[in-house]
Structure 1
Amino acid sequence: MPRRSLAVTLAVAFSATTLTVFVCVGWYLYLALAQQVRKHDDQDVVLAARHVRRLATELGSPQDALAHAQRLSSAVLGNPALALQIVDAQGRQLAAHDEGETFDEPPTPLSNAIASADVDLSPAHAGALVLAPDARITDSAIREWRSAHGVPVRSIAFDVALRDGATVRVAIARDMRGPLSLLDSYRDTLAFAGSVGTLVVLLGSYAWIRLALRPLRQIAEQAREVTAYRLDQPIRVKHVPGELATLVASLNAMLERLHAGFQRLSQFTADLAHDMRTPLSNIRGATEIALARPRPEEEYQTVLASNLEECERLSRMIENVIFLARAEHPRFETRRRAVNVHDELERIAGYFEGLAEEAGLAIRVDGGGTVNVDVELFRRALNNLIANALRYTPAGGTIVLTATPSAHALDVVVDNPGTPIAPEHLERIFERFYRADPSRTSAPDAMGSGASAGLGLAIVRTVMELHGGSVRAESDARSTRFILRFVDDAA
């Protein structure tokens, strides 16, 4: 199925709108002109009728009407469209004038013409169709009908009382072929003008829309050139309209995010490969040395234990990478519940107590409170921070775990003495595989936290993001502090 063109669709929509407007305006103008023409013609009929009535009331008898037929006909002289007919009570024609041959030739009595048009002249409707002698002649008494030859006619009929008491009936009609022909011509002109105007709008709007959509085509052309290796090149279009400027800005922002994401992914892949190469090289080197010549059983056991340690390091690294990848998925779910922070910190401190004693360190827990967290993720974050503190706290130092509740949040602080972290490293230490001190790469990985691979603090930040909280680090000559802020969801 061919794709629909936006330019064609808009042009057709504009043309349809224009045609609708032309039809409505043309119809209104046509009706207004028809009303004005009808009003003007009806005024001619009314004036002629009033003039004839005034002349007829001066007649003494119907015979006088025959004698003064020419004078009575003067009311319609000079206007070929007007016709006059006067008959007595018995239907005999007394006077008639029809220059435009509105009626049959020879002239047919107007009453017969009206009857042939199926217009009721019964006494019950006489007041509606034939005005009484004392009735006022207005355009509301004018009736529209067609003659025996189909000529459109608008006429008025009224009775006139003569001086002798007799009554004659006068009918004045106007041939409407001329006005209707004018209206038909006007209608055809409107139809032609509307059709031409619609066609001009169709072609013109299509051309203008094509021109207006040119920046959009340029955006599409540049977007087709975007690849994974060209994400750093923004879309640039000259003379972008305001409606498309937002689109261009959004696309460029998306490209920046994609570029940053690809850069992070590339860096992450390179760092992961580098960190995995070290234990693999250790395993391979130790194995090659062990196989170079026969050795005692104790040396083989030492090599196997060393290889097992490196395999565990690789497993922890892979597990941490998988966790980070899963945590970034939008559908990753946390199972939260209310936790007594003090009890949980005591439990974690007890878990690290043996390692702390071996290193000549102490762990103290202060404060408390309740927080709604995923317990497993909470423990994982604290394990990484405590393992990191054990690694860099000098012998004889004390690691302090503090929980401080506030109005709508709770802060958990891991505070340990030691060499301060430089300010330029404080914001980046939560990045994956980032190490503030590269010389510490080979530092022991306490309790298998994965921190020595540069993932421990990245996991802490991910855990806090999953909880809608935040993590930050502060460091000075006194100590280094990692502050976890859990926000109360109900606040």
Structure 2
Amino acid sequence: MRGRSLAATLAFAFGVTTLAVFVLVGSFLYLALEKQIKAQDNLDIVLAARHARRLAEELESAQGIREHGERLASIVLGNEAMSMEVFGPDGNKAIDHNIAAALAAPDAASGAASLAALPPLARVAATARITEADIGDWIGRNGAPIRGILTDVRLRNGDTASVLVARNMSDRWLLLDRYRDKLQMAGVAGVLLAMLLGYVLIRVALQPLRDIAASAGLVTINRLDTRVTVERVPSELAALVVSFNAMLERVEQGFQRLSRFTADLAHDMRTPLGNMRGAAEVALARPRSVDEYESLLASNLEECDRLSRMIENVLFLARAEHPQFVKHMREFDAGQELSHIADYFEGIAEEAGVRVRVGGAASLTADLELFRRALGNLLANAIRYTPPGGEIALDVGESPEAVRVSVSNQGTPIAAEHLERIFDRFYRVDPSRSSLPAADVSQASTGSTGLGLAIVRTIMELHGGTVHAESDARGTRFVLTFKRAG
């Protein structure tokens, strides 16, 4: 099933992020504007109330309020949203301006007649300072929001009048509503535009990925040497391209090794099979004696043993490369084990006319069976290529960092260019694949199966160690290095 588009997903995420940013910014701007408008209106109401109280305090009596009504009303004159009502000492209305829309009383159509008709507001004492905290809120006619201040005024004759200054906030809320609607429209348009531009930009930014995919599509079983070549790769994708090319290189090398291994295995299996077939055809060409048939069967049995060893070694290498290969680690005396291995090969060494010397001692933690197999392969290899009368040395030594086991033998030296490759499976020093007595060391370790040294290297890799060969005119030396656990 085809997954979601990465470009669409990122564009959607970008749009959601943009929407969240717009909501936060828009809310901040809206609240900031609302706060600023409210602060300005509160200031206007407070200043108007203070001005009205100062003017009223200059009047002699309630009659002066009526006589100077226009002067008092001029404070809010010119602003249709502002209202004023002045009540005499008896609580009855003395003057008013645009007050009907600010009241919710039943007689609001004709204006409030007394203080009792006003909304429940806290009255500011005549001697108290008028502040924004004294502003009250109520709902006027037609549900209009109203804000205002009711304050007492001390006339010059000592009587107390009352002044109501109010403001209809409908225009402000309408302004805020329009501003909010514009913010919402701008936010929706901005989100859609951000998603569209984001999708386009992401598609452009992901073009190198499509180029990498197209280049990777050119890799086939017959073109494993193909590499991803994308020009101007972004720095974020450079590591991906390098890793992908490195993977292709490993795959190519592994496939080449597998091809060589398959060809070498087929060649080596064909040889004993060909020998058995040829011997059988010769034997069947004419009647043979019992001794000749027994000799034929013995020869075929040897070839079967060779095939069995080859198959066993191949299976071991296959199992060893599996991640779940089990090792039974234990601590043992490497010097004693070398002595046991030398005793086991004593008869073979005597037949070959060589001596085996063991030296050194060290405590080693490893899989004992794998250790014996690796040393057995190396010792068999050394016996095979040590001239009669020669000596093979098995030595072990230790240091704080590692334990080193060496197998040294006299004989024809190995050329430097072959020292590392002799550990490859089925590697032959001679390109013609002929069996050279002093060169084909990779076969000797396990009865000419060509896998002995490869098994040794695999065993060392399982232990996290290394194996290397040294060869000069004095002889050849194989060194196993077992690193100590940190």
TM-score normalised to structure 2 length: 0.94
Aligned partner letter, 2:109 = E
2:258 corresponding residue in structure 1: 265
The letter of the residue matching 2:157 is D
Mean CA deviation greater in 362-371 or 272-281: 362-371
- In the other structure, the counterpart of 2:172 is 179
Encode CA deviations 1:38-93: one digit per residue, 9 max, x unaligned.
Answer: 22222222221111111111222222222222222121122222111011344311
Deviation string, structure 1 residues 415-449 (Cα, Å, up to 9, x no partner)? 11010111111111111111225443689999995
Q: Which is further off, 196-205 or 339-348?
A: 339-348
Deviation at 1:479, TM superposition (A): 1.3
Q: Quick check: 1:60–1:163 contact (8 Å CA) kept in 2?
A: yes
Match of 2:384 among 375, 383, 391: 391
User: Shift of the alpha carbon at 1:141?
Assistant: 1.1
* Residue number among 450, 454, 461 corresponding to 2:450 in the alignment: 454
Q: What is the identity, as a one-letter code, of the residue corresponding to 2:111?
A: P
**Which whole-Å CA distance do the structure 2 matches of 1:460 and 1:172 have between them?**
103
Tell which deviates more after alignment, 406-415 or 82-91: 82-91
Unaligned runs of 5+ in 1: 122-128
Distance 2:246 2:98 in 1: 86
Alpha-carbon RMSD across the aligned residues, in angstroms, is 2.1
**1:262-293 deviation per Cα after TM superposition (whole angstroms, max 9, x unaligned):** 00000000000011110000000001111111
Which residue number corresponds to residue 483 of structure 1? 479
1:440 corresponds to: 435
Q: Which residue of 2 aligns with 1:15?
A: 15
Shift of 1:239: 2.4
Whether 1:191 and 2:167 are equivalent positions in the alignment is: no
In structure 2, C-alpha distance between the alignment counterparts of 1:218 and 1:446, rounded to whole Å: 45
* Matches of 1:148 and 1:101, distance apart in 2: 5
Q: Name the % identity.
A: 56
Deviation at 1:238, TM superposition (A): 2.3
Q: How does 1:357-368 map to 2 (within 5 A)?
A: 357-368=350-361
Structure 1 contact 110–171 (Cα < 8 Å) conserved:
no
Say which is worse superposed, 21-30 or 279-288, in terms of deviation. 21-30
1:280 equivalent in structure 2: 273
> Which residue of 2 is the match for residue 354 of structure 1?
347
5 Å-filtered alignment, 1:136-175, equals 136-175=129-168
Residue in 1 aligned with 2:231?
238
Alignment coverage as a number of residue pairs: 479
Does the alignment pair 1:223 with 2:216?
A: yes
> Which of residues 107, 114, 117 is equivalent to 2:111?
107
Query: Structure 2: how far apart are the matches of 1:264 and 1:2?
Result: 36
Query: 2:371 aligns to what SS in structure 1?
Result: helix
Shift of 1:309: 0.3
The amino acid that maps onto 2:479 is I
Aligned residue for 1:293?
A: 286
Distance 1:155 1:244, change over 3 A: same
State the Cα distance separating 1:148 from its structure 2 match.
Answer: 3.3
Q: Distance in 2 between matches of 1:187 and 1:114?
A: 33
- CA shift in 2, pair 1:8/1:174, >3 Å: same
1:8-48 C-alpha deviation (Å, 9 max, x unpaired): 11111111111111111111111111111122222222221
Match of 1:125 in 2: none
| Kept after mapping to 1: 8 A contact 2:148/2:167 | yes
Q: Does the 8 A contact of 2:444 with 2:452 survive in 1?
A: no
Deviations 1:117-139 (A, max 9, x none): xx3x5xxxxxxx21000011122
Q: Output the amino acid matched with 2:454.
A: A
Alpha-carbon displacement from aligned partner over 1:329-358 (angstroms, at most 9, x marks no partner): 111111121121222111111111111111
Task: State the secondary structure of the residue aligned to 2:58.
Answer: coil
The answer to whether the Cα contact below 8 Å between 1:73 and 1:96 also exists between their aligned partners in 2 is: yes
| Cα distance in structure 2, aligned partners of 1:7 and 1:446 | 56
Q: From the superposition, tell whether residues 446 and 306 of structure 1 become closer, same or farther in structure 2 (CA, over 3 Å).
A: farther
State which drifts further: 145-154 or 259-268.
145-154
1:322 pairs, out of 315, 318, 321, with: 315
What is the TM-score normalised by the length of structure 1? 0.93
CA distance in 1: counterparts of 2:352 and 2:41, whole angstroms: 118
Provide the residue aligned with 2:48 in structure 1: 48
